[in-house]
């Protein structure tokens, strides 16, 4: 297991900053996700760590040693690409053993190590097959075994599950996490899939326009986004903006088109604030509404709304609800048979703790 440090790394293509002053540390044995829209810099960062891209400034350190000028093949890094890059004319055994043969490992010594990798990725007995005879998930595991057989210090994954269909991708997420835990290798992976990042990562970095905008555990980044961009990119969020006003019991509050919206966070007085609420944090109740600070139990946000749209998806329904300042997205688990019809008057109820200030 190794520690990877990126210190002030930047990469420009003309005026375009593909990576701008990135400062981040990947801990020993950590499964770390890089998430962001196309062009955000996540793949540039991964390829810079691998050595395919040389930064214009900054350093890449592995276990405290600057490897910025070290070529790819001497960084002791394993890498899996989205298309797996398997050799179609080689057997599974030879694909996995390729890295050992390049390093001059004798065939008699390579055999046991290949067998060990086959067992690790649960492909024992398939060593004579060609890649075309394997499923997408099996090919992905061969690519993973080929990267791990040289016992690299760091494993880099560039959208490793992107070529798989949804169900297989979900199955492989579990497999990949389990294999990474068994090996204990520091793993950094790029994905555009928010659910995948939340499922696999010990920590995740959100990138935008070449910059790291937030780093934290999946729950920290999802529950406490630090910006409107993060709130909207990692899942869905309702953004409520208004002038700061006084709230009860020391709570912060804004005036959102005549409705007081409470937050557990302190807000600077005298200005405006934007608050984010995740769709699943709302609870839908009957239309009759009491004030948020009525004194009956802990303070709650209560907002009159009208259902304008409903999308049923089996286990849940996603509603659009028209309220004081516009339409809100509400996600409701289908725990009962009740579904709200278009035009139904409802009350949206949620805790101030789930109303998060964002920049």
CA distance 154 to 71: 15
What pLDDT score was predicted for residue 11? 96
| Burial classification of residue 287, based on how many CB atoms lie within 10 Å of its CB (0-12 exposed, 13-18 middle, 19 or more buried) | exposed
CA distance 19 to 264: 35
Across 28-81, where does the E strand assignment appear? Answer: 31-35, 57-62, 65-66, 77-80
pLDDT (mean) for 269-285: 94
pLDDT (mean) for 327-336: 91
pLDDT (mean) for 121-126: 89
Q: Which domains does the chain show, CATH number per domain? A: 4-231 (3.40.50.300), 236-358 (2.40.50.100)
What pLDDT score was predicted for residue 166? 76
pLDDT (mean) for 211-240: 95
182 confidence band (pLDDT: 50, 70, 90):
confident
The DSSP call for residue 85 is T
Q: Which residue has the higher pLDDT, 305 or 195?
A: 305
Coil/strand/helix, residue 53: coil
In degrees and rounded to multiples of 5, residue 259 shows phi and psi of -110, 135
What the block records as the tokens of 178 is: 């389990």
pLDDT (mean) for 156-182: 82
What pLDDT score was predicted for residue 276? 97
Residue 206 contacts residue 37 (beta carbons within 8 Å):
no
pLDDT (mean) for 194-204: 91
| pTM for this entry | 0.86
Instruction: Convert the pLDDT of each residue in 75-114 to its tens digit.
Output: 999 988 877 788 889 999 989 888 888 777 777 778 889 8
Residue 352 contacts residue 262 (beta carbons within 8 Å):
yes
* Range with lowest mean pLDDT among 67-71, 84-88, 127-131: 84-88
What pLDDT score was predicted for residue 201? 94
Q: What value does the mean pLDDT of the chain take?
A: 90
Place of tokens 């890059």: 85
Residues near 251 by Cβ (< 8 Å), separated by ≥ 6? Answer: 262, 263, 264, 299, 352
Strand order from edge to edge, sheet including 211-216:
77-80, 154-158, 186-191, 31-35, 203-208, 211-216
pLDDT (mean) for 242-261: 92
pLDDT (mean) for 232-257: 92
Q: Is the pLDDT of residue 211 over 70?
A: yes
| Strand-pair partners of 26 | 4
What pLDDT score was predicted for residue 296? 56
- Packing angle, helices 107-120 and 136-148, rounded to 10: 130
* Range with lowest mean pLDDT among 47-61, 100-114, 247-261, 320-334: 100-114
What pLDDT score was predicted for residue 80? 87
Q: Is the pLDDT of residue 294 over 60?
A: no
pLDDT over 90, % of the chain: 59
193 confidence band (pLDDT: 50, 70, 90):
confident
Q: Which residue has the higher pLDDT, 49 or 178?
A: 49
């Amino acid at each position: 297991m190794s520690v990877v440090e990126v210190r002030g790394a930047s990469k420009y293509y003309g005026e375009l900053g593909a990576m701008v002053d990135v400062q981040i540390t990947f801990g020993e044995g950590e499964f770390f996700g890089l998430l962001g829209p196309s062009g955000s810099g996540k793949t540039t960062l991964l390829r810079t760590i691998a050595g395919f891209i040389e930064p214009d400034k900054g350093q890449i350190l592995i276990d405290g040693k600057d490897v910025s000028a070290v070529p790819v093949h001497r960084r002791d890094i394993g890498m899996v690409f989205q298309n797996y890059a398997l050799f179609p004319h080689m057997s599974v055994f030879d694909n996995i053993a390729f890295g050992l043969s390049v390093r001059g490992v004798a065939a008699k010594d390579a055999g046991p190590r290949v067998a060990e990798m086959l067992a690790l990725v649960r492909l024992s007995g398939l060593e004579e097959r060609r890649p075309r005879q394997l499923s997408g998930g099996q090919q992905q595991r061969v690519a993973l075994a080929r990267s791990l057989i040289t016992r690299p210090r760091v494993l880099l994954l560039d959208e490793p599950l992107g070529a798989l269909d949804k169900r297989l991708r979900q199955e492989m997420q579990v497999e990949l996490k389990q294999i990474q835990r068994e090996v204990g290798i520091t793993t950094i992976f790029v994905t555009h899939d928010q659910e995948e990042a939340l499922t696999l990562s010990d920590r995740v970095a959100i990138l935008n326009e070449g910059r790291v905008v937030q780093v934290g555990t999946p729950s920290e980044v999802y529950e406490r986004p630090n910006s409107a961009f993060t709130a909207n990119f990692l899942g869905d969020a309702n953004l409520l903006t208004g002038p700061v006003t006084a709230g009860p019991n020391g709570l912060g509050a804004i005036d959102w088109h005549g409705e007081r919206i409470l937050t557990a966070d302190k807000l600077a007085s005298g200005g405006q604030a934007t608050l984010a609420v995740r769709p699943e944090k709302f609870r839908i109740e009957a239309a009759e509404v009491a004030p948020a600070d009525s004194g009956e139990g802990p303070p709650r946000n209560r907002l009159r709304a009208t259902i304008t749209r409903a999308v049923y998806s089996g286990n849940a329904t996603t509603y659009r609800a028209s309220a004081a300042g516009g339409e809100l997205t509400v996600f409701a688990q289908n725990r009962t048979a009740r579904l709200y019809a278009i035009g139904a008057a409802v009350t949206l109820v949620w805790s101030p703790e789930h109303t998060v200030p964002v920049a």
